[in-house]
Amino acid sequence: MPMMLRGPALSLALAVGLFVAGQALAQAIEPGKEGELANFIPPQAGARACFSRVYDAAHLKSHPKQQVTEMQFHIAYYIHDPDEFAPKGQRNYYFQLLAKLRDAQQGRPLTAMGECRATKDGKSIFCGVDCDGGGVIVKRSGADKVLVDLEAMGRLRMTLDCGEDEADAFELTPGADDNRFLLSKMPQAECPAYDDW
């Protein structure tokens, strides 16, 4: 099935499943319970890492069904201001995923943002978009690469220019050549801080 940009219609079962996943993502990450997240970046205020890939013309020619031409994955650790519920400040891992598609929106990037948590098997992380927005499984591949798996969850809701308007939303879904994306670590100087996303 080719990768499609489609409306938000989902089966009830999928919607319920993603709602439950979304509820789990709303929880803070307790210190000492980061699991695989800590292998991506340490649980320290301001810690971040960015990974990217631009697919060249030769690659795209040999994979004519691939729609994604460029992808970036950013992950950051953030400590919120203390409050009555988290006297030391709630801790979360946040992500941003940017993607450019062939012949779509004049090359403007699509954006997805949300929270990450370790998967139950302890070998990867799940990064999801709130309100049933789907997500991706991300796994480390060596010291400086990550594999972003779109197929594992089946969809990722993305918007143009970080917009939240549902009219601007796209559903990025797996296709023949759009299932997994191997990204390389970017120089730290090119990796924006969470507050600059």
Higher per-residue confidence, 192 vs 167: 192
Is the predicted pLDDT of residue 141 greater than 90, yes or no? yes
Tens-place pLDDT, residues 97-123? 999 998 765 567 899 999 999 999 999
How far is C-alpha 84 from the geometric centre of its chain's CA atoms?
A: 30
pTM of the model: 0.83
Given a contact cutoff of 8 angstroms between Cβ atoms, the answer to whether 127 and 95 are in contact is: yes
What is the pLDDT, as a whole number, of residue 1? 37
Is pLDDT at 138 greater than 90 in this prediction?
yes
Tracing tokens 């219609």 back to the chain, one arrives at 9
pLDDT bracket for residue 8 (50, 70, 90): very low
Least confident of 1-15, 109-123, 138-152: 1-15
- Measure CA 68 to chain center: 14
Q: Are 186 and 71 in contact (CB under 8 A)?
A: no
Q: How many percent of the chain have pLDDT more than 90?
A: 70
Rounded CA-CA distance 176/185 in Å is 25
Radius of gyration of the chain (CA): 17
Question: CB of 141 within 8 A of CB of 147?
Answer: yes
- The predicted pLDDT at position 165 comes to 58
Would you give the end-to-end CA distance of the chain in angstroms?
32
pLDDT of residue 107: 66
Higher-pLDDT residue of 20 and 47 is 47
Mean pLDDT on 119-134 = 93
Q: 25 or 62: which carries more pLDDT confidence?
A: 62
pLDDT at 39: 96
